[in-house]
Structure 1
């Protein structure tokens, strides 16, 4: 387990959580490096990395897990460790739909955490029955709707708040994807393409056909995005719920920086302590990189390109030395001043 103290650690607030995988140049598994569900679609041994960041993308805490551990089982251990370390008693965690199950949300709530997670839309026609009864399939662009849904069964059943938003941009994208999937299902049903799993394909004893009911349901939901939260509307309005969820891109950006800019993968080590040290170096560099990005307001790649121009030189002639200092253009001067102010 590795941790870095946040600038806001110890304060109640909102944090973002996500998980990624790092693979190894090895065919051998052990107690830590295991083949599992890979974010990179690989079959090599891997580890899972759970990352907490604040809404601005600054690294809060990092945990390492076995490569085959279920992603949903990583969240509460990370939150518990972080909350205990910094004495936090009121925290809202934002995560993607990967942890969305009644059992996982109940466990989060029972552990004392508030949450905002992405919602799958399979139940939306029933959640929004009143809207569809009154307005049919008509929505305005940017329209926000509130609903509730009972999640879980028996003793585990709890009513959850659901926030939906309709987006014209999402509608165009969803309809385009639906049409692509419809054509794929039609081609398979007609024998023009070989048999594969397809969303809108219905297979029964009589053969293969397009599942028109599923298509119509998908079209009804096109343009909608859902969010589940255990915060009341008085505590956090619908727009604020969505804005908080959209900050998850900060975690994804940190993972991209880690893998691409900082060379975190592939991992060539095999001992747990050495792997731990490798991640410590990489994510310490990430914390520094995020800080450097924030001060001048530019990407780490652009910042490195700018600073790479600062070069001095020394020439030796006839036993003597002449040193030429680095030239500081105006744009670099402003960047360096921003970095000093952000120190």
Structure 2
């Protein structure tokens, strides 16, 4: 009797697979293939044993094989079909669900658009390829556009915004950050939405203005778009009004950049009942600093001054609290720039450089000279930054005002994430409804990405790269497909553990 495959149950419950032969009633083990613990492993080992028996039979010229299973057709018995990033997709779906997005809007196509944008920002048509590569049944191109239409008509963004606020917890929302950016379009003609305006990217093309409201950690709360020629100072109050209308129980103080500082804007904020912290432009040395330096005292790193200052004119005139702080790190580049400007001014005065606008040149008739008073004033306020607020001293300390303002880097980071990692610019959309729907996809992608970054400590780009390496395999054995789970490396398992341990709120 020739060689055949033998299956034997072991004491541990596994199934041993062997190649054996029988001569005159005596069984001999030719080769031990291994011990299978699952049906898939058993099938794989049996097929391996059959292949080895066949190879030995062909080598010795035998034509008939005695094995305990039916003869196999010629050709490969086990084939690799494809691999896919199941762990990556399932993890992103888990975060999406955890943020409450599925409960807010039950739209699987929209959810997959968000996940595809995080993995590989691309056109809506190319999204089908990305989802196919994830081993999913991708929606049709028309199905994607139906979902986007529904996102616009069904007010998805407000629902997702509400989910974001609920996830972070209203008890933690005492401070919010606000900033604006612009997205340009390659179009020949402007329309009522896409218009030329003051571009953050110094572009001349028609654009739209985006206002992003985040918590102090950079997690998005609201995203609004405005016509491209809207002044950024006019976007803040509408965004805050919308937030308050949706969450009347939440009282927040808003922090924004110096670009938002105008008498009319601050008056509008106060009239609407909002508290604020805004960066202040310093045109002259604060009297408190001048008085301190009068007797030759030097400023110390981190030194803080406080005063009350009048803003605006006439009926709009308001007295507000101003906090100043000196930082050596800020003073060094300020002083270098002053010296460079002074050198240019000296060349203008000496006549070696043509007369042009120069900060420290004083012109009186035909005479030119260095304005030493202006130079000294600039040196005195080097390293000093001001912060304007209507929050009372008893409620918020000066250091807390300064620290709150410095959190603005978080909203800037969210914008950078949107523009670079998520490629927010809606290149392929022309109608406002589709652009707004696209921005809703981006808003959700920012939320998922910020949560991942906050929980794991790595960028979402690196997170995706790490998890994308973990590929499950799909193999075909005897015409039946089986999934081979991927081994998860220790560093990926650590990321998943950190993400699993994270929760809502702070």
Q: Work out which of the residue numbers 439, 452, 467 in structure 2 matches 1:292.
A: 452
Counterpart residue number, 1:84: 245
Kindly state the Cα deviation for residue 271 of structure 1 after the two structures are TM-superposed.
Answer: 0.9
Counterpart residue number, 1:73: 234
1:210-262 residue CA offsets vs partner (Å, 9 max, x unmatched): 54433221111011111111112111111111111111111000000000000
Classify the secondary structure of the residue corresponding to 1:245.
helix
Where structure 2 has 5 or more consecutive residues not aligned to the other structure, the ranges are 1-154
1:16, 1:52 within 8 Å by CA — same for their partners in 2? yes
Considering only CA atoms, is the larger Rg found in Structure 1 or Structure 2? Answer: 2
Counterpart residue number, 2:275: 114
Kindly state the Cα deviation for residue 323 of structure 1 after the two structures are TM-superposed.
Answer: 5.1
Kindly state the Cα deviation for residue 286 of structure 1 after the two structures are TM-superposed.
Answer: 0.6
Counterpart residue number, 1:313: 473
Classify the secondary structure of the residue corresponding to 1:279.
helix
Q: Work out which of the residue numbers 222, 240, 243 in structure 2 matches 1:61.
A: 222
Kindly state the Cα deviation for residue 291 of structure 1 after the two structures are TM-superposed.
Answer: 1.1
**Structure 1 residues 200 and 71: CA distance shift in structure 2, 3 A:** farther
Map residues 16-35 of structure 1 onto 2, 5 A cutoff. 16-35=177-196
Kindly state the Cα deviation for residue 51 of structure 1 after the two structures are TM-superposed.
Answer: 0.6
Where structure 1 has 5 or more consecutive residues not aligned to the other structure, the ranges are none
Counterpart residue number, 1:103: 264
Q: Work out which of the residue numbers 376, 388, 401 in structure 2 matches 1:228.
A: 388
**Structure 1 residues 124 and 148: CA distance shift in structure 2, 3 A:** farther
Q: Does 1:268 pair with 2:403?
A: no
Kindly state the Cα deviation for residue 164 of structure 1 after the two structures are TM-superposed.
Answer: 1.0
1:69-102 residue CA offsets vs partner (Å, 9 max, x unmatched): 1111100000011011111452200001111122
Q: Distance in 1 between matches of 2:502 and 2:287?
A: 50
Q: Distance in 1 between matches of 2:455 and 2:423?
A: 23
Q: How many residue pairs end up in the alignment? A: 342
Q: Work out which of the residue numbers 497, 500, 506 in structure 2 matches 1:337.
A: 497
Counterpart residue number, 1:44: 205
2:222, 2:243 within 8 Å by CA — same for their partners in 1? yes
1:5-38 residue CA offsets vs partner (Å, 9 max, x unmatched): 2234644611000000011121321111111111
1:176-233 residue CA offsets vs partner (Å, 9 max, x unmatched): 2222333344455656666765444556653765544332211110111111111121
Q: Distance in 1 between matches of 2:406 and 2:214?
A: 13
Classify the secondary structure of the residue corresponding to 2:456.
coil
2:335, 2:382 within 8 Å by CA — same for their partners in 1? yes
Classify the secondary structure of the residue corresponding to 1:61.
strand
2:284, 2:381 within 8 Å by CA — same for their partners in 1? no
Which stretch shifts more, 51-60 or 266-275?
Answer: 266-275
**Structure 1 residues 266 and 178: CA distance shift in structure 2, 3 A:** farther
Q: Distance in 1 between matches of 2:466 and 2:228?
A: 38
1:25, 1:268 within 8 Å by CA — same for their partners in 2? no
Q: Distance in 1 between matches of 2:389 and 2:237?
A: 17
Counterpart residue number, 2:300: 140
Q: Distance in 1 between matches of 2:470 and 2:393?
A: 52
2:263, 2:312 within 8 Å by CA — same for their partners in 1? yes
Classify the secondary structure of the residue corresponding to 1:291.
helix
Q: Distance in 2 between matches of 1:198 and 1:34?
A: 34
**Structure 1 residues 319 and 125: CA distance shift in structure 2, 3 A:** same
Q: Distance in 1 between matches of 2:169 and 2:357?
A: 46
Which stretch shifts more, 153-162 or 202-211?
Answer: 202-211
Q: Larger helix proportion, structure 1 or 2?
A: 2
2:288, 2:307 within 8 Å by CA — same for their partners in 1? yes
Q: Distance in 2 between matches of 1:193 and 1:327?
A: 69
Q: Does 1:130 pair with 2:263?
A: no
Q: Distance in 1 between matches of 2:351 and 2:229?
A: 37
**Structure 1 residues 152 and 328: CA distance shift in structure 2, 3 A:** same
Q: Work out which of the residue numbers 295, 306, 309 in structure 2 matches 1:149.
A: 309
**Structure 1 residues 274 and 217: CA distance shift in structure 2, 3 A:** same
**Structure 1 residues 322 and 9: CA distance shift in structure 2, 3 A:** closer
Q: Work out which of the residue numbers 302, 307, 318 in structure 2 matches 1:158.
A: 318
User: What TM-score, normalized to structure 1?
Assistant: 0.91
Which stretch shifts more, 193-202 or 32-41?
Answer: 193-202
Q: Does 1:176 pair with 2:176?
A: no
**Structure 1 residues 207 and 76: CA distance shift in structure 2, 3 A:** farther
Question: What is the CA RMSD across the aligned residues, in angstroms?
Answer: 2.5
